[in-house]
Structure formats: structure tokens, C-alpha cells
Amino acid sequence: MLQQAFNGLVGGAFYALLALGLSVIFGMLGVVNFAHGSFYMLGAFGAYVLLDSFGVDFWVALAAVPLVLGVAGVAVERLFVRRLTGLDPLYGFLFTFGLALILQDAVKHEYGVQSQPYPRPPALSGSLDLGLFDYPAYQVFVLVVSVLVCAATWLLLTRTRIGVIVRAATERPELTRALGIDVGRWVAPVFGFGIALAGLAGVLAAPMRAVNPLMGADLIITVFAVVVIGGLGSIFGSVAAGFGIGLVSALGNLYVPALSQTLVFIVMAAVLLWRPAGLFGREEAAL
């Protein structure tokens, strides 16, 4: 059971990284990024292509792929998402959903739907003795990286000047401009940062999950549930809910396997009945 709980936390690590990115993007831009899962998939494919075609190893991919995707995210914001500000949120939905389909089909066209193999990095191929049980070293690595990245993001947002500006612009964009801050300048970097997190999760997923064009679409539905449970736009909520849901669904899998697919949504419905704004969300404040 403890081992299953650990599996849950590792699964939760992916939810947390993706939900964190979705959450900062939603907070700052008011856009629900339906393409988030596709960027996760691109992260995994980026690692695969680098290794398969160029012989570039995991460690380089771990740094380079999120960076490149982050820059791509900045470009997407500058070129497209920016033009949708002030319009009906439906346009944001249509754009990001369309982008998701385009990215997914482009990869499908190139590599087909079968899963591509990606080996674990040699240094992490063994297992670690965690005292009570042995556990694959790579999975432990994923968990540690995810926790560190979430913690670093948290510190960035709570302890730095950039964090103050991003929080202010997230809570009240108009007021923040009225206090002399060029909010628009921060939007693209925040979008790019969220995308980079999705890319990082993708690279981390490559050695332990099937690398295929649909991997993002499969995962992202659950991540949306996670974000809703944590509270839309709440940074802390999305991370906590990410690990929490990972844990819940792993244990659910163990005890009530029949419900394993739906459990997350049952939790979501229950949370929403109890707290409509999510666990850590604030009720919509007056503008």
C-alpha cells in the first residue's frame, strides 16, 4: 500500500507541474489553455527526437526542451493569444483547442500513433532502497524534481519583486496598470513559463510513460479536474490538489479499481458542492 501511495505521488508530480502551469496562465491571462496537454506531449517528443535523431541524451533534453518550448510559448502569446484579450473567452477556448488539435495531428502525421520507446537515463536505471521497499530510482528523481520546481515557483511568486507583480496583475490587472505597471510586458513571459513547465513534465514523462501523440490529451482532462479542485488560478491549490489527486487515484485504484477512471471527477463534484471556488480558490472578488 505504501508503495502504491508512492506511485500516486509520482503520478501527482505530473499533475502538479501541469496544473501549476495552467494555473499561472489562467490567473494572468484569464485563458484556459486547452493546448497545455499538447505542449506536454511535445516535451516528451522533443526528448525522443533529440535522442533518436541527434543522439542528445536525457540530461541535455531536460534543460533544452522546456527552454525551447517556453520560447515557443512566448511567441504563441505574442502572435495569437494577445489578439484575443478583451474578446469573449470563447475565442481563447477555440484558439487553444484548435492549437491542441493541430499540434497533436502534426505529430501524429509524422510519427504515427504507436508509442515510441525512450530509455531511462543510465544513471537512474537502478532502484533505490527506501527502507520499507525498493523503488525505481528514476521515479524518485521525478518526484524530487517536481517538488523542487513547485517549491521554486512558490518562492519566486512569494519572495521576489517579480512575484509581487505577477500576483498583483493576476488579482487585479486594471488596478495594477493604474499603479504604473506595464502588465502587458509580463503576460508573454508568464505564458511561456507555464508552457515550459508542461514541456518539463513531458521530458520527465518520456522514460516512464508511453511517448505518443495522444499522451497529452489523455492526461490533461484529469489535470483540468485538478485545477478546478485546487481552485482556478490558485497556485498553491493546484500543486496541492495535483499531489493529492495523484494519491487519491492511486489508492482508489488499489481499493476500488472499478472506479479508477471516474474517481477524480467524483472528488471534483464533491469539492465543488462543498466549496464552489475550489479548495483554495477565492470567491470572485469585485473588480
Q: Given the rule CB under 8 A, which residues bind another protein?
A: 86, 164-165, 167-168, 170-172, 174-183, 282, 285-286
Cα 20 from Cα 201, distance rounded (Å): 11
CB of 182 to another protein, least distance (A): 5
Nearer to another protein, 88 or 129 (CB): 88
Residue 30 CB, nearest distance to another protein (Å)? 13
Degrees to nearest 5, angle at CA 29 with 25 and 32: 60
Single-letter amino acid code for the residue at 26 = F
Cell digits of residue 3: 508503495
Residue 27 or 194 having the CB closest to another protein: 27
For residue 127, list its beta bridge partners: 136
The Cβ of residue 267 has, within 10 Å, a number of other Cβ atoms equal to: 19
Nearer residue to another protein within complex by CB, 132 or 178? 178
User: Rounded to the nearest whole angstrom, what is the least distance from the CB of residue 81 to another protein in the complex?
Assistant: 17
CB of 286 to another protein, least distance (A): 7
* CB of residue 230 to another protein, shortest distance in Å: 15
Residues 6+ apart with CB under 8 A from 232: 23, 26, 277, 278, 281
Q: Using CA atoms, how far apart are residues 200 and 18, in angstroms rounded to an integer?
A: 9
* 35 vs 190 by CB, closer to another protein: 190
Residue closer to another protein (CB basis): 100 or 183:
183
Residues 72-95: b if buried by 16+ CB within 10 A, e if exposed = bbbebbeeebeebeeeeeeebeeb
Q: Minimal distance in Å, beta carbon 165 to another protein?
A: 7
> What is the rounded distance in angstroms from the CA atom of residue 89 to the CA atom of residue 30?
8
* Least distance in angstroms from the C-beta of 90 to another protein: 15
Q: How far apart are CA 84 and CA 92, in angstroms?
A: 6
Residue whose CB is less far from another protein, 30 or 121: 30
Q: What is the CA radius of gyration of the chain?
A: 19
**Residue whose CB is less far from another protein, 81 or 206:** 81
